[in-house]
Amino acid sequence: MRKSTHISFSSKLLLFISLGLLSSCATTKYKVDKQPLYKYFETNSTFRESHTGLLVYDLEERSVLFDYNSQKHFTPASNTKLLTYFASLILMGDSIPSMKFCEKHDTLYFTGTGDPTLLNANFDYANTLEYLGSSTHQLVYVENQMADERFGPGWSWDDYPYYYSTEKSSFPIYGNTATFRMDSNSDYIQIIPSHFENSFTIKQDTTVNNYSITRKEFENEFILKFNEKPIEIDHVFPFKYSNDLFLHLLIDTLKLPVIHGVEFPACKTELFYSVPTDSVVKHILIESDNFLAEQMLLVISGQFSDTLNSKKTINFMMKYHLSELKDEIYWVDGSGLSRYNQVTPNAMVNILEKIYHKVPRKKLFTLLPESGKNGTLKTSYPQLEGKIHAKTGSMSHVYNLSGFLETNSGKTLIFSFMNNNFNVSFSELKKDMEQVLMVLVNY
């Protein structure tokens, strides 16, 4: 049986005394390697047997309180979304550009910007549809070539059936997913969009547990297999995106003809804006929505270039806004699905400090998951309810937490707590992390 090491009251007291003796000099990097918290990392079996790093920074004193492996590189998983958020702060305005368009004679030409909100279930307002639907012009859709592949570099391509791995596109619709719903006391299956009702087969299969929904990778023929009724279904499944499918779905919604054009004529183009940027950011950070994060990088690239290209956004940020980070980082996608991403706790704290000084504190904390309250931290760290506002990042054998911790004395600490290659359950790991965070909240 695994034995967990806990921090005793006396050890906490020693740590508080040692921290209290630190000078407030802003340029000194303190070492507390011999203090009880460091010993906890060395003796706790979870941290000793995994790749773990933690940096804790006092915003008021501008000093490092604790440093354990902060310059080592980790797979950040969804902590990468903090980089995407930072890019949106620098390069995006208050609203998401939904489409680029121009009117010439009796025709309205339009193309996508990467905006992921059109008919997305997370966003109610659809002014783009209202604008197109109320137009008296002939509608002509022109594809905006996307430089990205449908999936990001380093993604697991056989994850295509899962919502977290939805395909990217230049003009998403319905979040590039189909939703299947059925109440347990009904035989009726609601399919959104209804276009897929004719592409849906139901089969009884006693080998499946409850039910499963599948499709072939490059086809939109969905198969529901169920063990026995009654069953309750609320399932979101990515569809195979194509421009032809986009047009079908748009025409079905508008109830108007839309022509597939080749290119824009010589005309002055304008941008049409949809939802507030912060409404998308909230879903990216609080719910950790991968699809929205990936599309955000595409939308941003269109703000300073003529192509939708995630790499251009990343390169621009690395050259002009992240070049002075204390440690080198490797950033390849918007969501953190790729294991090619590599970030140090030190660099993550640098980025969080930049964000903190750019966004009003009250607003920033409403955009991040809050411990014991909402999002990916709703059920985590119950002893620290309301004390942590931070982004989680998890995948197999990866769990990270980076953000802000409010102490009982009123201080605000920035921290990045990264764990890779651990072999315990997520719940066990988080219990051990909570022991450390409890010490910090009492600082």
Question: How confident is the model at residue 24, as a pLDDT?
Answer: 34
Question: How confident is the model at residue 25, as a pLDDT?
Answer: 36
- Is residue 106 domain-shared with residue 84, that is, in the same domain? no
Q: Which of 229, 251, 274 is the last residue of a domain?
A: 274
- Is residue 35 domain-shared with residue 178, that is, in the same domain? no
Q: Does a structural domain hold residue 150?
A: yes
Q: Is the pLDDT of residue 26 over 50?
A: no
- Is residue 77 domain-shared with residue 183, that is, in the same domain? no
Cα separation of the two ends of the chain: 32
Q: Does a structural domain hold residue 432?
A: yes
- Can you list the positions of beta strands (E) in 125-269? 138-142, 177-182, 190-192, 200-204, 211-214, 222-226, 233-238, 258-261
83 in the Ramachandran plot: left (φ > 0), alpha (ψ -120 to 50) or beta? alpha
Q: Does a structural domain hold residue 3?
A: no
CATH of the domain at 400: 3.40.710.10
Helix pair angle (310-320, 290-304), 10° resolution: 70
Q: Does a structural domain hold residue 2?
A: no
Q: Which of 217, 247, 274 is the last residue of a domain?
A: 274
Model pTM score = 0.91
Averaged confidence pLDDT in the chain = 92
Q: Does a structural domain hold residue 69?
A: yes
Question: How confident is the model at residue 36, as a pLDDT?
Answer: 83
- Is residue 377 domain-shared with residue 258, that is, in the same domain? no
Q: Is the pLDDT of residue 233 over 50?
A: yes
List the domain range (segments joined by +) for residue 395: 9-88+287-441
- Is residue 373 domain-shared with residue 330, that is, in the same domain? yes
- Is residue 118 domain-shared with residue 175, that is, in the same domain? yes
CA angle 7, 8, 13 (to 5 degrees): 100
- Is residue 123 domain-shared with residue 255, that is, in the same domain? yes
Q: Is the pLDDT of residue 69 over 70?
A: yes
Q: Which of 274, 307, 341 is the last residue of a domain?
A: 274
Q: Is the pLDDT of residue 187 over 90?
A: no
pLDDT in tens, 353-392: 999 999 999 999 999 999 999 999 999 999 999 999 999 9
- Is residue 154 domain-shared with residue 228, that is, in the same domain? yes
Q: Does a structural domain hold residue 281?
A: no
Q: Which amino acid is located at 6 in the chain?
A: H
**How many domains does the chain divide into?**
2
Of residues 260, 312, 253, 248, the one with CA closest to residue 144: 260
CA angle 163, 165, 167 (to 5 degrees): 100
- Is residue 117 domain-shared with residue 247, that is, in the same domain? yes
Strand order in 63-68's β-sheet? 63-68, 51-58, 412-420, 398-406, 388-395
- Is residue 203 domain-shared with residue 349, that is, in the same domain? no
Length reported for the chain = 443
pLDDT in tens, 126-156: 799 999 999 999 999 999 989 999 999 999 9
Question: How confident is the model at residue 70, as a pLDDT?
Answer: 97
- Is residue 183 domain-shared with residue 241, that is, in the same domain? yes
Q: Which amino acid is located at 297 in the chain?
A: L
- Is residue 69 domain-shared with residue 120, that is, in the same domain? no
Q: Does a structural domain hold residue 179?
A: yes
Helix (H) / strand (E) element for 389: namely strand 388-395
| Residue range 258-267: mean pLDDT, rounded | 96
